[in-house]
Structure 1
Amino acid sequence: MDRLSGLDASFLYLETPAQLMHVCGLIVLDPSTMPTPYSFEGMQQAIDQQVRDVPAFTRKLRRVPLGLDHPIWVKDKQYDIERHVHRLALPQPGGYKELVSLASHLAALPLDRSRPLWEMWVIEGYEGGDKVVIFSKMHHATVDGVSGSNLISHLCALEPDAAPLALGPKEEYGREPGARELLGRALVSNVTRPINAVRIVAPTAQTLAKTISRARAGTAMAAPLTAPRTSFNGTITSHRTIGVVDLDLEDIRAVKTATGTTVNDVLLAISGGALRAYLEERGELPESSLLASVPVSVREQSRRNTGANKVSSLFAKLGTDVEDPLERLEEMADSNRNAKEHHNAISADSLQDWAEFAAPRTFGLAVRAYAGLRLAEKHPVVHNLVISNVPGPPIPLYFMGAQIVGLYPLGPVFHGAGVNITVMSNNGRIHVGVIACRESMPDVEALVRHFPTELAKLNEGIRAREAATPITKNTRKARAKS
């Protein structure tokens, strides 16, 4: 029996008509590399051939009677590719504006829970018909950032005419139990829940004690509920707006090397600079720094061998209160080192352990009450937004034979945090995807356009610093190692 983990199921319970819990992706393709000329029918058939034996694409939810336990996955015996891969064409002139407008609309549509929780929209006519775009949606109950990338690789190859990448041993479908067995297992799970809770109380208490010690020593990660309030930190609606932009990975690496920081530090500093510029233009820049929740994969450290989501989270200040880009980066790098050390000291499975106690009915009712009472606008801001960095391929990839020239991930937004920034590397480029509640951030482009500018400012600052104080090769190597 393939039962959802507590963390996977939590993304189902968190979902409301406004707070949609699917993960999207905007994949821009160059069909000129396809061995067989592009046609929608051929694309749909090729996708079907690759996914029809993969459980993550062909399983659906089955609820436990009375909602006494988390749902289970069962094979969808009515699986039909035509329910999942659809065709659209962009209105003329078929440019960027038309693409993000259509993608924003698709992102705001919920997935049908009676079927496998994914969809793809094949969008034709982009850039005068020279490009084809895949807009994908998968529910967060099915994937996190890493597992989502792995699933997409079922459809990707290293050469236009090569077979898609294999993902190791073939997955098996879980056994489908009867209603009585489901009810019996749910009752046992509820009876043993207090015992399991006792087992994780002591480790959690120890973690809290260590966190307090770190806070007193000034080496703890930034604390939630300390973020300043902005225009995108309230109750969200079901409307979405999307923007995407590309950055050069070599330019980011040059900043990393010159400053002795990491690629993730640089990306967070660029995001902080873009947010600062956006808020400053609107006359809304807070005096204190914005606070981001940064998902962290614990897939390699986790002891659990079940569940799609193996993530934790750390909180990072974005330095939006610092005007100088280099100073912002260096301050963030120092605080990020403390945050990473603090995060590493916490059990990789702590979030998953506590998520097991999310009661389906209670959790769902609480989320709806939270939204209905607009509580996100009444308590201190937990965090301003989510920023995620998903590692991607360093070489060209081909989706059903078409070269991927753009790969923009788009995560969910939440009540109280109406903006999500997700970045992914791909063949020497950094693809930045920004999604927001339209009422929280009506003009995403006003934020997105600052990302290349902030990267340029960092490089200009480095050149100016090196011109003023020549740096030897040994000094640069020492910085890179620090």
Structure 2
Amino acid sequence: MPTDAMFLLGESREHPMHVGGLQLYEPPPDAGPGFVRDFYDQLVAQQDFQPTFLKRPATLLGAIGNLGWAYDKEVDIDYHVRRSALPSPGRVRDLLELTSLLHSGLLDRHRPLWEAHVIEGLKDGRFAVYTKLHHSLIDGVSALKLMQRAMSNDPDDRQIRAPWTLSKPDRMSGPSSSPLRSLMRTVGSVAALAPSTVSLVRAALFEQQLTLPFGAPRTMLNVKIGGARRCAAQSWSLDRIKSVKTAAGVTLNDVVLAMCSGALRYYLLEQDALPDTPLHAMVPVSLRREDEADAGGNLVGAILCNLATDTEDPAKRLETVSESMYKNKTVFSHLPRLQAMALSAVNMSSLALSTVPGWVSSTSPPFNLVISNVPGPREQMYYGGARLDGSYPLSAILDGQALNITLVSNADTLDFGLVGCRRSVPHLQRLLAHLESSLKDLERAVGV
């Protein structure tokens, strides 16, 4: 597909185009010292690969191409599935440092474009699984669903299901593509409708009071990026965030965005880099009506949210974020479908142009970062009897967008995964402390 080719063509050492995830597990109470070894051995023993996990870019005239696929008849399972151990003392910080290095490396185009790493050695006895797949093969949402299908809600289910052996379900309910993939496809499909689309976009932008693209301030986050990544991850209680939601009379996503807004404000103040005007976030949202909830397909819009980072009062920040999201979602919900898709394409169009030389440095950013909230399992999940403690999505970043925040709901927690350019976003882990401080500010502000 053209979208797949785009992710291959757009990849370079500075712009790895894979999506990743870090899952953290607690072995079952009766697990012996060899549990993780047995877990790994059972994974690598399963070599009935689905076609997605056999695909690699085709070789044409002796060179690796980007526009076609070949399928490996044999897969070197020991290369694709690896077992690692953390150095003593086995802190979560050590795990995240290893994950950052793994997330920075390009996938080998001479092999199928995926890897899985089973990582042990945490001092508290837990272990982790880091996976990465090229965005041309699968998107982050689909990869998350695939991992969930390998798990069970039964702690006594000790079967180890390898994700690469699981076939696609006959029919997926809800969106079947990630916001980035869906919106980039929309950019191309809607652009093909010009010039009629131009009038639709003009009408929506100027007749409706939407947060406009290219109105975001230039910040330290909106620069050309290098190839090295830094990852950070942490979980927060869903009940805490729901309490703020109920007390303030806003949505759960409003609270999440305000939590991120406060953290970004703290971080940029710390770096002496807070702009006078508010940061804008691109927030992927569903454009479905209630009667389309199970229609399948891709109906994802790109809404720009005013994060009110120029406002010191956390209650006023939350109010501004909520009002911005409400107005933008309301306008989108009342626009004709084509017009809503056209607006999403305009909001996202700069990402497609970020590889053009000089584009990032010569234009204002369309927004400052992406903040994405992905629905996950509503009940506690287990993998071979090991309890899933955290599921942290790790996305790709592009030129002009040096930071990405993605979170997944996981039973009674929200699991945040942060990915930043190692050169441009120093001390990324400080954002985790600032997220906690920001949530406490919101709790105090609304009286919970």
TM range (shorter): 0.7 to 0.9
Higher mean Cα deviation, 313-322 or 411-420? 313-322
Indicate if the aligned counterparts of 1:420 and 1:435 stay in contact, CA closer than 8 A: yes
Work out which of the residue numbers 380, 393, 400 in structure 2 matches 1:416: 400
Please, what is the CA RMSD of the aligned residues? 3.5
Match of 1:158 in 2: 153
| Residue 35 of structure 1, CA deviation | 6.9
- CA gap 1:169/1:380 in 2 versus in 1, 3 angstroms: closer
Q: How far apart in 2 are the matches of 1:23 and 1:227?
A: 26
Amino acid at match of 1:31: P
Q: Contact between 1:424 and 1:431, CA under 8 Å: does it hold in 2? A: yes
Would you say 1:268 and 2:261 are equivalent positions?
no
Query: Could you tell me how far apart the structure 2 residues matched to 1:24 and 1:74 are?
Result: 23
Report the equivalent of 1:472: none
How many Å separate the matches in 2 of 1:17 and 1:290? 28
Q: Which amino acid aligns with 2:153?
A: L
Residues 291 and 155 of structure 1: CA distance in aligned 2, closer, same or farther (over 3 Å) = same
Bigger radius of gyration: 1
DSSP 3-state at the match of 2:142:
helix
1:88 aligns with 2:84: yes
The aligned amino acid for 2:197 is T
Using the TM superposition, give the Cα deviation of residue 140 of structure 1 relative to its aligned residue in structure 2, in angstroms.
Answer: 1.8
For 1:391, the aligned partner's letter is P
Decide whether the 8 Å contact of 2:53 with 2:112 is kept in 1: yes
Corresponding residue for residue 266 of structure 2: 277
Deviations 1:357-392 (A, max 9, x none): x9xxxx99x86552xx5x422321222111111111
- After superposition, the C-alpha distances for 1:158-188 in whole angstroms (9 at most, x for unaligned) are 12343559876469xxxxxxxxxxxxxxxxx
CA change 1:48–1:150 in 2 (3 A) is: farther
Q: Percent identity among equivalent residues?
A: 33
Q: CA deviation at 1:314?
A: 2.2
Residue 201 (structure 1) aligns with? 194
Per the TM alignment, residue 113 of structure 1 is displaced from its structure 2 partner at its CA by 2.1
What is the CA-CA distance between 1:271 and the residue it aligns to? Answer: 0.3
Residue type at the aligned position of 2:385:
G
Once the two structures are superposed, the pairs formed by residues 389-404 of structure 1 within 5 Å of their partners are 389-404=373-388
Q: How many residues align?
A: 416
Which letter does structure 2 place at the counterpart of 1:276? R
Other-structure match for 1:329: 318
The match for 2:436 is: 452
Which residue identity lines up with residue 273 of structure 1 in the other structure? G
Question: Which of the numbers 278, 283, 305 marks the counterpart of 1:289?
Answer: 278
Equivalent-residue separation in structure 1 for 2:82 and 2:306 (angstroms) = 41
SS at match of 1:284: coil
Paired residue for 1:147, among 142, 151, 172? 142
Q: What residue number does 1:477 align with?
A: none
After superposition, the C-alpha distances for 1:255-293 in whole angstroms (9 at most, x for unaligned) are 111222111111011000100011112221111111112
The answer to whether the 8 Å contact 2:375/2:409 transfers is yes
Q: Cα distance 1:432–1:296, how it changes in 2: closer, same or farther (>3 A)? A: same
| Counterpart AA for 1:47 | L
Mark the runs of 5 or more structure 2 residues left unpaired by the alignment: 172-188
Partner of 2:180 in structure 1? Answer: none
Q: Which deviations, in whole Å up to 9, do the C-alpha atoms of 1:401-423 show, x marking residues without a partner?
A: 31110111111111111001111
Give the alignment partner of residue 94 of structure 2, picking from 80, 98, 114.
Answer: 98
Tell me if the contact between 2:305 and 2:325 (Cα under 8 Å) persists in the aligned partners.
Answer: yes
1:93 is matched by which residue type in structure 2?
A: P
Flag the 1:437–1:458 CA change in 2: closer, same or farther, 3 A.
Answer: same
Q: Does 1:25 align with 2:34?
A: no
Tell me which residue corresponds to 2:182.
none
Deviation of 1:151 (Å) = 1.4
Contact 1:31 1:38 in 2 (8 A): no
C-alpha separation between the residues in 2 aligned to 1:198 and 1:419?
27
Q: Is 1:433 aligned to 2:429, yes or no?
A: no
Q: Distance in 2 between matches of 1:204 and 1:37?
A: 62
Unaligned runs of 5+ in 1: 172-195, 465-482
The residue type paired with residue 271 of structure 2 is R
Determine if contact 1:88/1:124 at 8 Å carries over to the other structure. yes
The 3 A distance-change label for structure 1 pair 70 and 123 is closer
Q: How far apart in 2 are the matches of 1:89 and 1:303?
A: 44
1:341 has 2:330 as partner: yes
CA distance in 1, matches of 2:131, 2:330: 35
**What does residue 184 of structure 2 align with?**
none
Partner Cα distance (2:345, 2:59) in 1: 21
State the one-letter code of the partner of 1:403.
Answer: R
Distance across 1 between alignment mates of 2:112 and 2:46: 15
Provide the rounded CA distance (Å) in 2 between the counterparts of 1:250 and 1:304. Answer: 30
Written as runs of structure 1 = structure 2, the 5 A alignment for 1:366-381 is 370=357, 373=358, 375-381=359-365
Decide which moves more: 25-34 or 235-244. 25-34
Q: 1:7 aligns with which of 3, 6, 9?
A: 3
Q: TM-score, normalised by structure 2?
A: 0.82
Contact kept in structure 1, 2:191 and 2:197, CA below 8 Å = no
| 1:441 counterpart letter in structure 2 | V
Q: Is the 8 A contact 1:234 1:377 kept in 2?
A: yes
Is residue 419–residue 437 contact of structure 1 (8 Å, CA) maintained in 2? yes
Supply the distance in 2 between the matched residues of 1:408 and 1:378 (Cα, whole angstroms). Answer: 34
- Shift in CA distance, 155/34, structure 1 to aligned 2, threshold 3 Å: farther
CA deviation string 1:308-344 (max 9, x = no partner): x875422212111111112111111111122223444
Note closer, same or farther for the CA distance 1:199–1:334 as it changes in structure 2 (3 Å cut): same
Instruction: For 1:237-256, list aligned pairs within 5 A.
Output: 237-256=226-245
SS in 1 for 2:121: strand
- Counterparts in 2 of 1:433 and 1:168: CA distance versus 1, 3 Å: closer
Take 1:39 and 1:58, find their aligned partners in 2: how far apart are those partners?
29
1:83–1:337 CA distance, 2 compared to 1 (3 A)? same
Q: What SS does the corresponding residue of 1:425 show, helix, strand or coil?
A: strand
Are residue 386 (structure 1) and residue 370 (structure 2) matched?
yes
Aligned 8 A contact 2:233 2:392 in 1 = yes
What residue number does 2:181 align with? none
- After superposition, the Cα gap between the structure-2 partners of 1:301 and 1:379, relative to the gap in structure 1 and judged at 3 Å, is farther
Query: Counterparts of 1:197 and 1:424 in 2: how far apart (Å)?
Result: 29
Counterpart-to-counterpart distance in 1, 2:299 and 2:115: 23
Give the structure 2 partner of residue 210 of structure 1: 203
DSSP 3-state at the match of 1:388: strand
Q: For 1:56-111, what per-residue CA distance to the aligned partner results, in whole angstroms no more than 9, with x for missing partners?
A: 333333378999x9734553212232221111111111102211111111111011
Residues 261 and 50 of structure 1, relative CA distance in 2, 3 Å threshold: farther
Amino acid of the residue matched to residue 316 of structure 2?
E
| Residue 229 (structure 1) aligns with | 218
Aligned partner of 1:317 among 306, 309, 316:
306
Measure the CA separation in 2 of the matches of 1:115 and 1:343: 42
Helix, strand or coil at the partner of 1:102:
helix
